[in-house]
Amino acid sequence: MRKKPAFKIEFIALMASLMSIVALSIDALLPALPQIGDALGVSDPHQNQYLITMIFLGIGFGQLIFGPLSDSFGRKPMVYFGFAVFVIASIICVTTNDFTVMLIARVLQGVGLSSPRTIAVAMTRDTYSGDFMAKVLSIIVMFFILVPIVAPTFGQLLLDFFNWQSIFNANLIIGLIIVLWFWKRQPETLSVKKRIPFKPSIFISGTKEFFKYKDAIAFTLVSGFITGSFMVYLSTSQQIFQEQYNLGDMFPYIFASTAFSVGFATFSNSQLVIRFGSFNIAYTAGIAYTIISLLYVVLFHSGVNPSVHVLITFFILQFFAVGFLFGNLRSLAMEPLGHIAGIGSAINGFVSTVMAVPIANYIGSFVTTSALPLFIGFSVFGVLSVLVFAWLRNVQKKTLATA
C-alpha cells in the first residue's frame, strides 16, 4: 500500500512566507499610491496603477531566469540571489525622485521577488505530487492570502506615522527575517543527482519540453486570464473606492474583506480537493466566476455604480471563486512537469504573468467613473477560461475512450 504523504508544517509555513514577501511588496503599497504619485510629479492618477502592474512584469521575466537556474544549481542559492536583487531595487525605490526610475526599480523588484515565488512552487513540486500537491499548495496560498488581508492596513499605519518610503523599508526588514529563517531551517529539496547540468541551451530545451504537454499549456493560459483579471482589481481598487465612492479611509478594510474571501476559498479547497479532484473544482469555480461577472454586467450595464455594499458583495463572491482557481491551476499545470519543476514553474509563471500585465493595463485604463469595465473584463476572460476547461474535458474523454 502506498504511503500517504505527510504534512510538513514548517515547510508549508516557510513556502507561504517566501511567497508573502511578494504580496507584501504589492499590497502594502496600495494606500500610498496617491502620495507616491504626488511626490514623483505624476499628474494622471491612472499612471499610479503602473506601480502595481510593473512589479508583475518583473516577476514574469525573472521567473525565466531563476527557474531554470534552480534546476541546475539548486533551489536555495536562487532565493538568496533573488533577494539581493530585491534589496538593490528597494534602495532605488526609496531614493529616486523620478517616476520613470521608480517604475524601472519596481520591475527590478519584481525580478528579485520572482525567485522566492518560483522556488516556493518548485520546492513544493519537489516534495509532493498529484492532488496532495494541490492540497498543500492550497494551504500555502491560504496562509499567503493572510498577507493581503492585513498588508493595506499595515501600509496605512506606516503612512500615518512615517512616510511612504517606510513601507519599502519595512518590506526589506520582514523579507530579511524570512530569508534568514529559510537559510537556517529549510533543507535543499533538489538533490545533486537530480540537477540538470547547466548550459545555455537548457532554456531552449526546457521550453520545448514544457510545450509538449497540452495540459500544462492550457492551465497556464487560464492562469493568465484569471491573474490578469485579478491584477486589474489590485491596480484599480484603491482608485475605485477612494475616487468613485469617497471611501479612501475604509479601503484597507474593504480590501481585507475580499482577500479574506480568497483565503477562505483556498482553505475550503484544501479540504475538498482530495475528494473531488483539482480539475473538477477548478472547472466549477471557472463557471461560477463567469456567471457572477455576467450577472453584474447585466444588472448594472448602464455604468452607474451600485451601492458600495452591493459592489463589495460581488467582489467577495467573485474572489471566492478565484480562491478555488488559484488553489488548483498552478498544481494542475505543474503535475506533468516534475522532471523540470524549476523551468516548468518559471514558464508557467512567465506566460501567465506576461499575459496578465497588458490585460490589467488595458482594462484598468477604462476604470474611470465606473466599476463596470472591471466586470466586463472579468466576464470576457471568464468565458475564455471556461472554453479552455471544456476543451480539456473533451480531450480527456477522448483519451479515456481510446485507452
Q: Supply the pLDDT for residue 371.
A: 92
Q: pLDDT tens digits, residue range 181-220? A: 999 998 898 888 888 887 777 778 878 888 888 888 888 8
Q: pLDDT tens digits, residue range 103-148? A: 999 999 999 998 988 888 888 878 887 777 777 877 787 777 778 7
Burial 176-193 (b: 16+ CB within 10 A, else e): eebbeebeeebeebbeee
Q: Supply the pLDDT for residue 85.
A: 95
Cβ proximity of 148 and 27 under 8 Å:
yes
Q: Supply the pLDDT for residue 1.
A: 41
Query: What are the CA-CA distances from residue 198 to residues 21, 73, 115, 203 (Å)?
Result: 28, 8, 18, 10
Q: Considering just the CA atoms, what is the radius of gyration of the chain in Å?
A: 20
Cβ proximity of 153 and 28 under 8 Å:
no
Mean pLDDT of the region 86-115: 94
pTM of the model: 0.77
Quickly tell me which residue has 520613470 as its cell: 100
What are the backbone angles phi and psi of residue 154, rounded to the nearest 5°? -60, -45
Q: Any residues with CB less than 8 A from the CB of 33 and at least 6 apart, and which?
A: 48, 49, 51, 52, 238, 239
Mean pLDDT of the region 290-294: 96
Mean pLDDT of the region 69-96: 92
Quickly tell me which residue has 463572491 as its cell: 317
pLDDT at 262 over 80: yes
Handedness of CA 133, 135, 138, 139 (dihedral sign): negative
Give the Cβ contact number of residue 173 at 10 Å: 8
